[in-house]
Amino acid sequence: MEAGTVASELSIAVTVNGTTYEREVEARKLRCDTGNCGACSVIVDGTLVKSCMMLAVQADGSTVETVEGLAEGDELSKLQQAFSAHHALQCGYCTPGMLMSATALLRSNPHPSEDEIKKGLQGNICRCTGYWNIFEAVKAASE
């Protein structure tokens, strides 16, 4: 490659929910890039991120946790069970982001107050305005 040129594809390795994937990815690919809704939230190397704000090449060598990785086999996590029990699911659009944000919150603060839960889920938009049930589910999972 000539000096000053940029590769259109790069080879990366990313571990997602315990499985390592090696892929050729575009060096720069358009995506949402607004971070407004939080539905795409994932945990990268222990840090909550909105995946629309991150290029695949930035995840090279990282460990990524997604909502699909929260359950252990067929057993839902305590948080997922609480979402179901407290009817914190409506249309489902926000659910992955809410679950990942709540997971990150509970890892850093296992027994958050209501205000801490609200702050921890800030940046996640529920289109159905079902926030109260979501807050209740997170509180129940923390007990």
Domain ranges (residues) in the chain: 68-142
Report whether CATH 1.10.150.120 matches the domain 68-142.
yes
Task: State CA 117 to chain mean position distance.
Answer: 16
Residues with Cβ < 8 Å from 41, sequence gap 6 or more? 48, 49, 50, 51, 96, 97, 100, 101, 124
Mapped onto helix, strand or coil, the DSSP state of residue 132 is helix
Dump pLDDT digits (tens) for 88-140.
989 999 999 999 999 999 999 999 999 999 999 999 999 998 899 999 999 99
Whole-model pTM over 0.85: yes
- Dihedral class, residue 132 (left if φ above 0, else alpha if ψ from -120 to 50, else beta): alpha
Please, how many CA atoms are within 13 Å of residue 131, restricted to the half-sphere of its CB? 14
